[in-house]
């Protein structure tokens, strides 16, 4: 007998996801989102990402994926309300010390367990996840969570993301990476390589970064019939007002002093795109001080770096991605 996996009841009040390609600026926006009232500190959820990646590969049944997403978002908010699995490492972006630490420490000593469902109902906390490349699975997330989901996709110029992603590409075999992998013809690949394995095999790390970026942007262009909010990094950091109003409305929360304080920490608004905080984690991910305060010149410097490391075919793909991005998000 065929069984349908189900999850009808749910603890979750709301979930806000800040998603995007590596290097797009998620960790600039997520602390600002966390500063809104009722929004929990940013967390990562490799399990939910893995469910979505399996869904992309058509290796998990839809009913199973939907139910697991519901169960795991419930578990995340349940544990969060009792400070279970709280991150006490001060230097981490998801640390409790970056977002109302006293509140999280007090939760350690309060009664929990069977009291938590009533607390969630009364306080209406908003679970907050920072995720990587979930946009191709947004239909699954919307079917799973319906009106409980607030999905924000951060996008950025390809030439500002490629250095970090090239570093990631070189680490794909690192067991610390938690992306779903599969085997084809005896070789192991990461989920987003499905369909362009031949190009991957003959490409270097910069070329692989370009082709994976193309894979992701193609998926984004194909899947536009949804309720997500798209935020271009370049526009937000210079002129955040309209985006913040939209976020405030979706969260049903005011732009209070805590939000403004966090915006100051993130140096938003900025005169220049590169004026953000020089955190150690950004440096480990490839961030370097700008070589020029002319943004057009900085883009050209990055393009020349890539050009010296890739084939003419790969450079053409990158140029097309860049031109499409500029036309769609930077032409106003």
Q: What is the pLDDT of residues 100-117, one digit of tens each?
A: 888 889 999 888 899 999
Asked which of 132-141, 156-165, 286-295 is least confident by mean pLDDT, the reply is 286-295
Which has the closest alpha carbon to 147: 13, 9, 5, 7?
A: 13
Residue-wise pLDDT for 41-74, tens only, equals 999 999 999 999 999 999 999 999 999 999 999 9
- Sorted by sequence, the CB contacts under 8 Å of residue 306 that are 6+ apart come out as 159, 162, 206, 210, 315, 318
For residue 326, the enclosing domain spans 158-222+290-332
Structural domain contains residue 5: no
Within this chain, do residues 86 and 145 fall inside the same structural domain, yes or no? yes
pLDDT of 196 > 50? The answer is: yes
Within this chain, do residues 277 and 305 fall inside the same structural domain, yes or no? no
Which run of H or of E encompasses 191? none
Within this chain, do residues 172 and 73 fall inside the same structural domain, yes or no? no
Within this chain, do residues 138 and 118 fall inside the same structural domain, yes or no? yes
pLDDT of 13 > 70? The answer is: yes
The reported pLDDT for the residue numbered 128 is 98
Structural domain contains residue 26: yes
pLDDT of 226 > 90? The answer is: no
Which has the closest alpha carbon to 161: 325, 329, 317, 25?
A: 25
Within this chain, do residues 110 and 250 fall inside the same structural domain, yes or no? yes
Structural domain contains residue 18: yes
Within this chain, do residues 82 and 93 fall inside the same structural domain, yes or no? yes
Within this chain, do residues 90 and 115 fall inside the same structural domain, yes or no? yes
pTM of the model: 0.91
pLDDT of 275 > 70? The answer is: no
Straight-line distance from the first to the last Cα atom of the chain, in angstroms, rounded to the nearest whole number:
57
Residue 331 confidence class, pLDDT cut points 50, 70, 90: confident
Structural domain contains residue 330: yes
The reported pLDDT for the residue numbered 91 is 87
Within this chain, do residues 294 and 202 fall inside the same structural domain, yes or no? yes
Within this chain, do residues 68 and 100 fall inside the same structural domain, yes or no? yes
Within this chain, do residues 34 and 150 fall inside the same structural domain, yes or no? yes
pLDDT of 283 > 80? The answer is: no
Write out the two tokens for 91.
């230097």
Query: How many CA atoms are closer than 13 Å to the CA of 152, on its beta-carbon side?
Result: 28
Average pLDDT for residues 161-186, to the nearest whole number?
Answer: 93
Structural domain contains residue 1: no
pLDDT of 287 > 50? The answer is: no
Provide the domain count of the chain. 2
Within this chain, do residues 210 and 250 fall inside the same structural domain, yes or no? no
């Amino acid at each position: 007998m065929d069984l349908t996996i189900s999850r009808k009841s749910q603890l979750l009040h709301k979930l806000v996801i800040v998603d995007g390609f590596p290097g797009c600026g998620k960790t600039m926006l997520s602390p600002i989102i966390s500063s809104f009232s009722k929004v929990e500190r940013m967390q990562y959820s490799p399990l939910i990402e893995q469910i979505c990646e399996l869904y992309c590969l058509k290796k998990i049944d839809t009913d199973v994926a939907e139910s697991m997403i519901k169960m795991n978002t419930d578990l995340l908010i349940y544990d969060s309300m009792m400070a279970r699995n709280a991150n006490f490492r001060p230097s981490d972006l998801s640390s409790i010390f970056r977002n109302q630490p006293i509140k999280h420490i007090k939760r350690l000593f309060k009664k929990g367990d069977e009291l938590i469902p009533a607390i969630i109902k009364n306080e209406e906390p908003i679970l907050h996840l920072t995720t990587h490349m979930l946009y191709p699975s947004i239909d699954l997330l919307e079917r799973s969570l319906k009106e409980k989901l607030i999905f924000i996709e951060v996008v950025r110029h390809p030439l500002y993301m490629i250095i970090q992603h090239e570093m990631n590409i070189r680490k794909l075999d690192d067991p610390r990476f938690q992306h779903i992998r599969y085997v084809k013809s005896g070789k192991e690949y990461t989920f987003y390589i499905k369909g362009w394995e031949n190009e991957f095999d003959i490409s270097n790390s910069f070329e692989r970064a370009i082709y994976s970026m193309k894979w992701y942007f193609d998926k984004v262009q194909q899947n536009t019939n949804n309720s997500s909010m798209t935020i271009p990094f370049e526009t937000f950091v210079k002129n955040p007002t309209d985006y913040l109003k939209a976020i405030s409305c979706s969260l049903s929360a005011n732009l209070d002093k805590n939000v403004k304080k966090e915006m100051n920490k993130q140096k938003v608004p900025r005169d220049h795109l590169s004026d953000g905080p020089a955190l150690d984690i950004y440096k480990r991910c490839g961030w370097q001080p700008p070589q020029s305060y002319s943004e057009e010149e900085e883009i050209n410097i990055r393009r020349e770096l890539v050009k010296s490391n890739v084939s003419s075919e790969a450079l053409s793909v990158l140029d097309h991605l860049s031109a499409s991005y500029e036309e769609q998000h930077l032409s106003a």
